[in-house]
Chain A
Amino acid sequence: MDATVTTGTEDSVWGGGNRPLGASYGKMMMWFFIISDALTFSGFLVAYGFSRFKFIESWPIADEVFTHFPFLHGVDAPMYYVAFMTFILIMSSVTMVLAVDAGHNMKQKKVILYMFLTVIGGLIFVGSQAWEWATFIKGDYGALETKAGRILQFVDAETGKRAALADFTTELPEERVKHMSNEGIWFQSEGYKTSFSLNEVVEGFKANPNILIRTEQLNDEGEKTVLDRAQSLAQINNAVQVVEGANLIHNEYGNRLFADFFFFITGFHGFHVFSGVVINIIIFFNVILGTYERRGHYEMVEKVGLYWHFVDLVWVFVFTFFYLV
């Protein structure tokens, strides 16, 4: 596999086996793919930036959205879990690069071990992302949505903490049945039925004077604006529906685009991690079968490694722009 480029005759230039820029064909193509994929991800992240700058004064605060940690209920742990996920991915990047290094030294046993650890790291990451999605979709406090599509959240005036809908709603003797396609000649289907009706929330709000409304608007301190009681009572009349959790159309955390971008960008990244895990497993079995030992080099591990590191690289940016900034 040594360079045959420099002879300069037409035969050897077009005869194949060239390594322009010192990179083999496979590695070069992997870099082509990575650059185009990097541009795709940049497109998504810049589009996120676009929407955020458009609604710069009312964008949700990520710290207040992602506050959960598995097995720690009710503990306010902003970003700890995402930091953990970041660490897992960096760690699996390290085991990958160790596998590449072991491959260079033709140590099959070590490559097997490190590839295995990389796959495990990838699986933990994808699992964590699934958990993160589930928590996000389920929601925690619940909110109201106004005619304009703005979100009204609730705050306890005494403690200054967020109030969940269940804390103050009054049960009303009313029946609310979910629209189903098999009922009625003309129907409007609906995705989910909320635990409380709009009336129940509004009545409960009116009966509890210590509950205030928090709007999407950010104040000078970079915090969400809390209205006083009189303003809250005026604002609640604009509400048209109850929102619990998040989907592509409504979300209780604030601007609808926030949830859309969350699902789209972390989803696309998660898909990359998933396919990375699949490719890693294939390579892992090839290493066990001794394919690269017979081939005489472990360049395939290196190419897959490039992809895996790229996935890590993208996550570094997603972490910054979605969770930190």
Chain B
Amino acid sequence: MAHAHKLEIFRGLLKFKSNVQKIWGVLIFLSIVTTVEVALGIVKPHALTHSHILGMKLLNWIFIALTLVKAYYIAWDFMHLRDEKTALRRVIVWTPVFLICYLIFILLFEADYIYNVYKDGFVTWNF
């Protein structure tokens, strides 16, 4: 069983000598991202909580982006997706991504509609 590992991350910016070294490198990167997340969550910079993009706080978009970055490195380097064939990788990644995006789109729009019904529906929910 020949196991060729691709030993570079960040599109070749960082090259590792061995697979073990790459694993530790990814751990350091993931720890840094988590630390940034927690720090942002505790500090809650005013500039990020008071600007909104697409109806959500900028801070929340940053959290989601950082989460996807972490998910990428867990899947690519820990679950070895980087070393799998392109077709297998695409099937594994894009099938759930498509379905989940669809679900998010449909349910969040519906939830916002219900929120407006509760708000403007001439019914009191707080008594």
Residues of A within 8 A of B (CB): 1, 21-23, 31, 34-35, 38-39, 42-43, 46-47, 49-57, 63, 78-80, 83, 86-87, 90-91, 93-94, 96-98, 100-101, 104, 146-148, 150, 222, 238, 297, 302, 305-306, 309-310, 312-313, 316-317, 319-320, 323-325
Contact = CB atoms under 8 A, between A and B. Distances in A.
Nearest to A148: B127
A47, A50, A79, A104: which has the most chain B beta carbons within 10 Å? A50
B43 to A, nearest CB: 11
Interface string B43-87: 000000100000001001001101100110011011110001101
Given A23-B84, A98-B23, A316 B127 contact: no
Interface string B1-27: 101000000000000000110011011
B96 A53 contact: no
B31 A49 contact: no
Given A54-B111, A90-B27, A94-B27, A325 B60 contact: yes
A50 B110 contact: yes
Contact of B23 (A52, A94, A306): A94
B86 to A, nearest CB: 9
Given A46-B100, A79-B38, A94-B27, A325 B108 contact: no
A313 B76 CA distance: 11
Given A1-B1, A49-B104, A313-B71, 10 more contacts: A34-B92, A42-B96, A49-B107, A54-B111, A79-B38, A80-B38, A146-B127, A312-B74, A313-B74, A319-B67
B111 A50 contact: yes
B3 A222 contact: no
Contacts of B3: 104
A65 B122 CA distance: 32
Interface of B: 1, 3, 19-20, 23-24, 26-27, 30-31, 34-35, 37-38, 41-42, 49, 57, 60, 63-64, 66-67, 70-71, 74-75, 77-80, 84-85, 87-88, 91-92, 95-96, 99-100, 103-104, 107-108, 110-112, 114-115, 118, 124-127
A55 B79 CA distance: 37
Given A104-B3, A238-B127, A320-B64, A78 B70 contact: no
A175 B63 CA distance: 50
Contacts of A97: 23, 77-78
Contact of A39 (B79, B99, B118): B99
Contacts of A55: 115
A47, A78, A97, A238: which has the most chain B beta carbons within 10 Å? A97
Nearest to A30: B79
Given A39-B96, A93-B74, A94-B24, A50 B49 contact: no
23 contacts: A1-B1, A22-B84, A23-B84, A34-B92, A35-B96, A46-B104, A49-B107, A54-B114, A56-B115, A80-B38, A83-B38, A96-B78, A97-B77, A101-B23, A148-B125, A150-B126, A222-B49, A238-B127, A302-B80, A313-B74, A324-B63, A325-B63, A325-B64
Nearest to A149: B125
A305 B107 CA distance: 33
A226 to B, nearest CB: 16
Contacts of A310: 79
Contacts of A57: 115
B74 A316 contact: yes
Contacts of B127: 146-148, 238
